[in-house]
Each structure stands twice: as structure tokens, then as C-alpha cells.
Chains A and B, each alone.
Chain A
Amino acid sequence: MTAPASFQSLFERVARHVRGVEGHLRFSAAVARLQGSEATPPERSFVLTLARTILCPLAAVGLTTVLMALVIGHTAFKFESIVYVVPVIVCAIRWGLGAAIVSVLASAAAADFLFMAPVYSFAISDPNEIFELGLFLFVALVTSHLTARVKNEVEVSHRREREIQNLYEFSRRLALCSTAGDLVEAIQHYLSIHLGCEAYLIRLAPPVVSNDKDTENAAVPDFIAREAKAMLAARPPPGSRVVTDPDKNAPWALKSITTTVAEHGVLAVNLGKYAGSETDKLNEHIDTLLSEASATLTRIDAAAALARANVRLESEVLKTALIGTASHELRSPIAAILGTASVLDQMSALYDDEQMRSLVVGMRHEAKRLDNDIQNLLDTARIADSGLTRHLVWTDPADIVTAAIRQRSHRTAAHKLNLDVDPVLPLINVDPALLEQAMGQLIENAVKYSPAGSEIAIVARAEDCQVVLSVTDRGAGLTEDEAQNLFRRSYRGRRHVGNVPGLGLGLWIARIFVAVNGGVLTAHSCGPGQGTIMSIRLPVVPTIAPELAPSSDAQTG
């Protein structure tokens, strides 16, 4: 107990002093339970009760009578009945109302028998003395009742204070918990020390704490583990239930520990000798405990998740930085290869040599493919470290289409391009470079997944308040799985892995580039082998018709 001294008020000290024997007995009983010995046998507690309520008051009254007899021997003493109030108050304070009533009756009998005429007889001759005895009985009973009540209240408030202090200590201990194992230990410690209850915590699939100290599950009795598992499996899980130990016939309260985040497990508490109304109080107590515990569990889980996320983030940042640098470094040699190939292409010495020319064309083709992959890695790095910034410009959608086609002209040579661009498309306020990339990627994909010589239709048209740019091929189409996962990073259709080269980044990048411009990229296919339609839909913000602007636009000769 490391409770601060400020908690031990004068009030408490007085109360403890007054509580005397009973407090000591209760304390030693708790220690006995902790040490694993059996609880106090019922015969012994009966003897104690008998001693407290009958023998002690009788002794107190006897002692008072002896002292009074000694005093009366010397002086004329006429206040016996008032003196007898003293043992009554002492009994009320020490042993409660029952003992006080016994002492009242004993005092009245003693006073009547020893001090009122006729002496050594219970008969009373003087009517004044009858009145006096009646008055004494009334005063003594009222006093003992009031005193006993005060004593009770002192005890209750003391217990409350102790409970608060224990809870305070418990929550301090919870604050120091960093694993679920610590938490279990704290709960068990609390329940056993302060309530004298056996307790277990059954965690829900706790891989994070399995290497902790072996405080959990090891000693959990089978029937509790079974019930707890059933509780955790139930949907919706019950808040609490009571089960009975089949061997010892003792009731156990099982309570599920849940937080807003998740279910954490079940706490099992042996209700043991707590019975009747005390069970309710205990339940209430445990509920308080659990709300503290579940908050701590949430914190522990959150801390663990945070730690894991941090590790992940660090490795992600590292990977992205690596990709960025590597891609940049790789681009220079590729620029040199492509440039050299373009020079070779123009060398007259190679013109006549068909074989040499095809070699140069092959080299250029592969280098371009590599360059495209590196561009995708660079874009991925840009997106990942959120280096993606838009440069919004009013753009003619037709220019986006034209630029994308030019960008991929080396790839589309073997296909039949069919271009259909609406001549009066509205202007859109977008980042044209990003959209060109996205559109270029759609063309690239159409080329990759459709046979040479087949048609690729590129359409730009206005639709409601949108500009739609679409690329339609007559190629491999999409399976259900592909249609669902198409735009995920690093996804590649199972059919194409190994046949068609690629990193699975292109469409993911395209989707983000379109989204950054407020648009939507969608894919539609009637199934495998049925071709694919990829569409970029961009919102059109209505503006003043630019046609109206150049008013001084006269004809020239």
C-alpha cells in the first residue's frame, strides 16, 4: 500500500480505532484467503457473534456495576441509571445495536436488582424509581440506536474511501501497463487483495501478448475457458452471465470486456461467498473496474498498432525514395540508348541492311518500353510521397487526345487507330500533362491487350456536363476478377502474367491522375475476348462562352 497520507483522514483513523476487534478479524480473514487457506469456518463466526452481542455487553455492564458498588460504598450515590448509559454507548460504538440493546437490558436489570429498593429484588417500591428506570430505558435505547447509526455511517464512508483509494491505485497501475499481460496481473491483483476474489482474464486470440509472462490462460479452469469461448463466439455477445463451478459449486461471474474498437476478452470472477445484495455491489464494482480496464486495453492495442504502422511507414518512405532515385538514375542511360538508336536509324550505312535496321528498331522498341516502366515507377514515387501537384490550365480536350496519341505513336503503328473527336468540345480546367499520361496509358493498354491489326477507337465527346474520353479495343476483354481489381496497384490479370510484360502500375496511376483532375476512370467489358472500353469522365464547369469574347475580331484581307 503506497497510498498517500493525505488519504488517511483523521476521520478514518478515528473510525479504525473504534472498529477495533472486528476490523482485525476481517483483515486476518482476507489474509488467510490470500494465503490459500480455507475461509473462516461457520462455527467460529457464530462464537464470535455470540461473544460480540451477548458476552461483551454483559461484561461491560458487570464492570460498571462493580466500579459503582465500590464508589457507592463511600458516598451517597443517586445517579446509577445515568452511569449505566456509559457501557451502553461503549457497546453501541464497539459492537453495534444488538450488543447495545443487550447492555441496556442488563443495565436496567442490574440497577433494579442492586440499587433500587428493595435491594436484591427486581421489585420496585418507589414510583419515582419506576419512572427513573423507564426514562433510563428510553434514553439508553435512543442513544444506542443513534450511536450505532453513527458507527455504521463512519464504517460505510471509510469503506467508500478505501474503495476509491484502491481504484485510484488500480488506475495508476493501469497507466503503467504496456501489455495485456500487465493488465491481467493488475486486475487479478486488485480483485484478490481488495475483494478477495479469484479472477481470470480470457483474451480473444491474443497473438500480440502470447510471449508475455504466463499470467493468462495457464491456470484458467476448463469450464470457465469453455464458457468464455462460447461467450466470445456468440453474436451479439452477451454483456455478462453467471456460471457455476461443477466441482466446488461456486458461482462465477463472466463479463465481456468490450471497447468501441473491438471485443477484447472475458473476465471471470469467482463470486464465492458474496451472496444476495452483496453480489450486486460486487457486480457494480467489477463493472467500474472493467470500464477502466477496457480503456487501457484500447490504449495498449492502439499503441501496438501505432508502432506497427510506424514501421510500415518508414519502410514505405524508404522504398519510395529508392524508387525515385533509382528511376532517375536509370533514365539517363535509357535516354542515351534511345538517342543512339535514333542516330543509327538515320545512318545511311544502315539503310540498305534490312537486318541491321530491324536490330536497331528492336533496340529502340525495348528501350522505350523500359522508359515507360521507369516513368511509371517515377509516377508511383510521386504519388506515394504526395508530390503530385496540379497545374490547372483551360484545356481543349482534343489537345489531350492528340498529345496522348503522339506520345504513344511508336506503340500504335501496328493497330488501326480510329479517331472520333467532337469538334466543339467545351474547354476544361485541368492539368493537361497528367491527363495526357492517363490517356496515353489507356492507349498503351489497348495496344498491349489486343491483337496487331485490330481496331482501336478513340472517342472524345461531350455528354451532359461531362467530357468523355474513351479508348475501345477489340482485345482480351476483362474477366470478373480483372474488372474488379483492374485499378489496384500492382494488380495483373492472371491470364496475362508471363505473356504480356508489365508492372501493373499503369492503370493505377491513370486512375489517380484522372481523380486528381476531378474525373472518373472506368472500365467496361462484356467478358474475356470481348474487348474493353476505358473511359475518362471529366466534369465541365460552365463558363462564359469564349466565342463571345474577341469582339474586335475583324476579317483581314
Chain B
Amino acid sequence: MRKPANRVLVIDDEPQIRRFISAGLALYSYSVTEAENGSMGLNAVAHIRPDLVILDLGLPDMSGIEVLNTIRSWSTVPVIVLSIQADEDQKVYLLRSGADDYMTKPFGIAELAARCEAALRRYHKSTDKDPVVRTGPLMIDLVSRAVTFNGRHITLTRKEYRLLHLLASHLGLVLTHNQLIKEIWGNSSPDNVQYLRTLVRKLRKKLETDPSQPKLLISESGVGYRLERHAATPSSKSG
């Protein structure tokens, strides 16, 4: 559609999962390669040089974390981790270990496609000329620091802008509480989670149509926040 097809490598031992991811991502114009275990996956990462890796944590030959660490030792390729029932600590650990995002099974293909796109955009951001981030009615100009909502100018405090900037530059991806706190306050005392919550609440009041039902600033329980991408899906919205 817009660019040459991005190559995605799916590392998962369940054939039916691989099959639906392949078929689904093909709808979003990705070209998909499959690997059924960790060693084949690592081999494929080295040889076909994918633009994105989708990695299942429960592999038969080695743990997903091990595969992630090995990939990270020589590649910065975006990695999205899949798992069945990961607790919050595990998610935070994965994100700290270099995963770009995670998805808990079961999930719909639209969600996965959105995460893939977000991860790829973030990865290619350095080469991206456009400094303006758009999601739904919100527009953030990362250079002029101007924020508009439905074309109306929004005034933000310094900390509010800093938070929005961080989330916007990772549009569609989750940032952990600690990452945000460190960037905004310069330290990561757990007490600061309260300040972060308060800051998010203030920001929502300015950006959300209904602050009690946020559509943009989404909380990922126990993990962090995500600025949701809107109006970027190829077809009508789905579950």
C-alpha cells in the first residue's frame, strides 16, 4: 500500500497460531515468515533480517526470554512478545529486557497489527521526517511543542507536556511506570507512581472527551501507559 511490505518473523510452536497470524498480517500487507522453535527463530532472524519479530514465550526448545536476550545481543529489531497469562512483573521484566511490546493470548488480529505498526513506526522514527504525531482528534508537533485537540490549541504544563511527548514518541506502545517516572522526575521512587497517576488524571482532563472513559491515554494495569493509536487501521474497527 504505502511502503514495500515489511517482513515479519513469527516464532511460535503452535501451528494454528502461526497460521492465523500469517493470514491476518497478510491482510495488513506484511510478508510473514514462520519459525516453530527458538533455534529456528534465531537462525531466521540472522538470515532473513526481518523488520519485526513476534515471539511466543512458551517455546519447546528454549525459553522466550532466552531468545529475546540472544536477539538483543546483536540486533535492535522490534520484538513483540506473546504469552498466555503473564503477570504484571513478567510484563515489566520483558519490557526492560528489550521487548517493544507484549500481547496476552487470546488476542485479535487487529490489535496485533496495531502493535506491529506502532513498533515499526517507533523503530523507523529516526528516519521519519514528519515531526507531527496524530491520533484521533489529537495532534502533537514534537518540534514546535504545539498540541491541538480537534484543531483547538491546548495549554499544558511542562510536566504534562513531557508525559505526552514521551507517550507520543512511542505512539501505540506501552511505556512502564518506571520509564515515565524516570524521564519526568529523574528518579524512580515508587511513591512517584502517585504523582504519575495525578499527572495522567490532569492530562486526561485536557485531552479526553470523557475523562472517565479515556480513549487516548490508556492505563495498562500494573505495567504502565500507552497513547492509543486511532484512525490508522485499514478497514473498519474490530474487537
Chain A interface (Cβ < 8 Å from any Cβ of B)? 328, 331-336, 338-340, 342-343, 345-348, 364, 367, 371, 378, 391, 393-396, 398-403, 405, 409-410, 419-421, 423, 427, 431-433, 436, 460, 543, 546-547, 549-550, 552-557
Contacts and interface: CB of A to CB of B under 8 A. Distances in A.
Contacts of B161: 556
B238 A433 contact: no
A399 B106 contact: no
Contact of A400 (B84, B198, B201, B221): B221
B219 interface: yes
B195 A549 contact: yes
Nearest to B146: A557
B197 interface: yes
6 contacts: A335-B14, A336-B14, A339-B107, A343-B27, A396-B201, A433-B87
Contacts of B180: none
A376 to B, nearest CB: 13
Contact of A333 (B16, B205, B221, B222): B16
Nearest to B27: A346
Given A343-B24, A402-B212, A553-B158, 12 more contacts: A328-B84, A339-B21, A345-B238, A346-B27, A393-B193, A396-B197, A396-B201, A400-B221, A410-B239, A554-B157, A554-B158, A556-B156
A553 B191 CA distance: 18
A545 B200 CA distance: 15
A342 B87 contact: no
A423 B14 contact: no
Interface in B103-151: 105-110, 145
B238 A346 contact: yes
A354 to B, nearest CB: 15
Contacts of A378: 85
Contacts of A395: 197, 221
B199 interface: yes
A339 B222 contact: no
A555 B185 CA distance: 16
Given A342-B239, A555-B155, A423 B193 contact: no
Contact of A336 (B20, B85, B110): B20
The A interface, classified by DSSP as helix, strand, loop or mixed, is helix
The size class of the interface chain B forms with chain A is 35 or more
Contacts of B231: none
Contacts of B19: 340
B88 interface: yes
Contacts of A339: 17, 20-21, 24, 105-109
A433 B194 CA distance: 17
Contacts of A555: 155-158
Interface string B208-237: 000111100001011000000000000100
Contact of B27 (A347, A399, A431, A556): A347
Given A402-B219, A419-B213, A332 B14 contact: yes
Contacts of A401: 212
Contacts of B145: 556-557
Given A402-B214, A409-B239, A546-B194, A553 B159 contact: yes
Given A336-B14, A342-B24, A346-B110, A553 B194 contact: no
Which 9 pairs from chain A and chain B are nearest by CB? A342-B108, A421-B212, A335-B105, A336-B16, A432-B221, A335-B106, A338-B106, A399-B219, A343-B24
B158 A391 contact: no
Interface in B49-86: 84-85
Contacts of A409: 239
Nearest to A407: B221
Nearest to A424: B201
B234 to A, nearest CB: 9
Contacts of A347: 27
A331 B198 CA distance: 37
Contact of A371 (B106, B193, B194, B211): B106
Contacts of B194: 394, 427, 543, 546, 549
A332 B198 contact: no
B20 A331 contact: no
A396 B85 contact: no
B221 A342 contact: no
B115 to A, nearest CB: 14
Contacts of A432: 221-222
A347 B238 CA distance: 12
A331 B157 CA distance: 45
A391 B87 contact: yes
A331 B105 contact: yes
A335 B84 contact: yes
A345 B84 CA distance: 23
A221 B16 CA distance: 77
Contacts of B211: 423
Nearest to A409: B239
Nearest to A378: B85
Interface in B16-61: 16-17, 19-21, 23-24, 27
A557 B108 CA distance: 40
Nearest to A361: B239
Nearest to A333: B16
B198 A547 contact: yes
